[in-house]
Amino acid sequence: MKTKTDLSHTAPAADVDREAAGWLTRFDGAGCLAVRTSVEDLCREDAAFATWIGESFAHRTAFLRVLAAWQRADRLSAFTDIRPAPRQVIPGVAKLAAAVALFAVAGLSVLAVMNRTGEEMAGSALVAQTFETELGGQETVTLPDGSVIELNTDTVIRADVTNEHRHVELLRGEAYFEIAHDPSRPFTIAVGDETVTVLGTKFSVQKLETGIEVMVTEGRVQIEERAAEVPLTFVAGGQRALTSAGSVLVEKQDVAETQREMSWRTGRLDFADTPLSKVAAEFNRYNETKLVIADDAAAQIAIGGSFKSNNVDAFARLLRDGLGMEVVWHAEEIRVHSSPQ
């Protein structure tokens, strides 16, 4: 899996940074700080601070930055046996100044420093990440909120999950989602002009040429066509939805069919009386060597069974040896005819 990181997030406003520094100075003056002090420790010490931290994710991250700087300066002073200025002179300012000087010497900005002692989850949530699978590849991603996404072949998603919102963009391919329930942060998935919104459920989304396909195995999702003035569409467990040109078709789907459609999650492709043309299209999603169905008669042949998704050669041999079809291997494709030519 390729992971790309987008550093396009912006730093908190200057007034938030000043507020964070003010809280740090207050705690330092009261003797509440130590090298291993955490935000949770301070929230238990001061209810007003706990309220301020809970108001905004920007408050928390701003405070984490100044706390990390303070702790780093304290570690440095302990290492060099340099004692900080007496607290009664200017409480907190000595260590804050030392922290700023430390990172300035290192060529770093204090705003770029994140607390590495138990607060990495909050820091990482600021950075949106892009996850990608190669052709034939599959990968499972766990997001900071506990939601799990299984990426199918040739899939790209961009995940942006923070303490304030949960958003994923499906740029290409197909993914299966198990969303952690959180009514305060609906989980949204953008795919082209469609948006799928959930609170907590299990479903798959595939990006198609003309829209999307959504299959819900548990719970309920909401589909919104942003580019068209149409009512919201709700899709429940056991249903499948297809969108195209501003229209949404919802149909019931039995459990067996859903299991076949999602067999890719186990590395296999399952079919039941499926036309060979559709079977070939599915295999081509996972393999560099493409199956080419050369005539209409071959395209209509019904196929059933379970096959490894990344072994198109074995499937082609089954067509030849089991069904007596003409199969010709070329450099980048396998051509299939209904009968020997």
318 and 249 in one domain? no
- What's the token pair of residue 123? 């820091």
Pairing of strands 239-244, 233-236: unpaired
301 and 289 in one domain? yes
3 domain residue, yes or no: no
169 domain residue, yes or no: yes
Range of 32-41, 73-82, 120-129, 314-323 with top mean pLDDT: 314-323
35 domain residue, yes or no: yes
Last residue of one domain, picked from the residues 237, 257, 277 = 257
- What's the token pair of residue 109? 């900005």
78 domain residue, yes or no: yes
Residue 157 neighbours by CB under 8 Å, 6+ apart:
130, 131, 132, 141, 149, 151, 168, 169, 170, 171, 175
Quick one: CA torsion of 151, 152, 154, 156, rounded to 10 degrees?
A: -20
Compute the distance between CA of residue 215 and CA of residue 255 in angstroms, rounded to an integer: 11
Compute the distance between CA of residue 193 and CA of residue 225 in angstroms, rounded to an integer: 6
CATH number, domain at 140?
A: 2.60.120.1440
**Opening angle at CA 148, ends 214 and 125, nearest 5:** 115
215 and 279 in one domain? no
Domain range for 314 is: 267-337
CATH number, domain at 290?
A: 3.55.50.30
- Assign 157 a pLDDT band (cuts: 50, 70, 90): very high
Last residue of one domain, picked from the residues 205, 238, 257 = 257
323 and 253 in one domain? no
291 and 272 in one domain? yes
Pairing of strands 166-172, 187-191: parallel
5 domain residue, yes or no: no
167 domain residue, yes or no: yes
- Assign 18 a pLDDT band (cuts: 50, 70, 90): confident
Q: What is the mean pLDDT of residues 59-77?
A: 65
Q: What is the mean pLDDT of residues 127-132?
A: 85
115 and 132 in one domain? no
Among residues 196, 180, 24, 184, the alpha carbon closest in space to that of 94 is found at 24
Lowest mean per-residue pLDDT among 55-59, 196-200, 290-294, 311-315: 55-59
178 and 227 in one domain? yes
262 domain residue, yes or no: no
Q: What per-residue confidence (pLDDT) applies to 102?
A: 40
Residue 327 contacts residue 334 (beta carbons within 8 Å): yes
271 and 246 in one domain? no
Residue 217 contacts residue 202 (beta carbons within 8 Å): yes
Average pLDDT, the chain: 78
251 and 139 in one domain? yes
71 and 155 in one domain? no
Place of tokens 């009386």: 273
Compute the distance between CA of residue 309 and CA of residue 286 in angstroms, rounded to an integer: 6
- Assign 178 a pLDDT band (cuts: 50, 70, 90): very high
113 and 63 in one domain? yes
- Assign 24 a pLDDT band (cuts: 50, 70, 90): confident
In 60-165, the DSSP E strands lie at: 128-132, 139-142, 148-151, 156-161
Lowest mean per-residue pLDDT among 35-44, 237-246, 295-304: 35-44
Integer CA distances (angstroms), 7 to 59, 127, 129, 132, 146, in order: 19, 6, 9, 17, 22
Q: How far is CA 193 from the centre of its chain?
A: 19
253 domain residue, yes or no: yes
State how many domains the chain has. 3
> Which of the two residues, 314 and 128, has the higher pLDDT score?
314
Last residue of one domain, picked from the residues 123, 138, 157 = 123
Q: What per-residue confidence (pLDDT) applies to 63?
A: 78
159 and 241 in one domain? yes
Q: What is the mean pLDDT of residues 156-162?
A: 93
- Assign 300 a pLDDT band (cuts: 50, 70, 90): very high
| pTM, 2 dp | 0.62
Q: Where are the alpha helices (DSSP H) in 201-275?
A: 255-261
